[in-house]
Amino acid sequence: MAINTENKGEQKFALGKENLRLLMIGFLIILVGFVLMIGGGSSDPAVFNKEIFNFQRITLAPIVVMIGFVFEIFAIMKKPGSK
């Protein structure tokens, strides 16, 4: 049984540089989605603030987060070096 010593000491990562860059972009998209969800609270707990149910927090932010997760899946599945 022969042992291949050509690649000894050389580590290969499962993801390439481009994949890691795409993962970071996806992470930032998810972070933007969560930032869009922030706010709408009231300083007085006895007072209801209708701003918590606006378009940005109920519709836009979850869509942005889901786009970020889909982008993450794409970044992981993309073969390094392919266009």
Task: Measure the CA–CA gap between 66 and 7, rounded to whole angstroms.
Answer: 40
Q: Taking the domains of the chain in order of start, what are their residue ranges?
A: 29-40+50-78
**pLDDT level of residue 51 (50, 70, 90 thresholds):** confident
pLDDT at 1 over 60: no
Question: Rounded to the nearest 5 degrees, what angle is found at the Cα of 71, between the Cα atoms of 69 and 73?
Answer: 75
Give the pLDDT score at 66: 98
How does pLDDT run across 21-36, given as a tens digit for each residue? 999 999 999 999 999 9
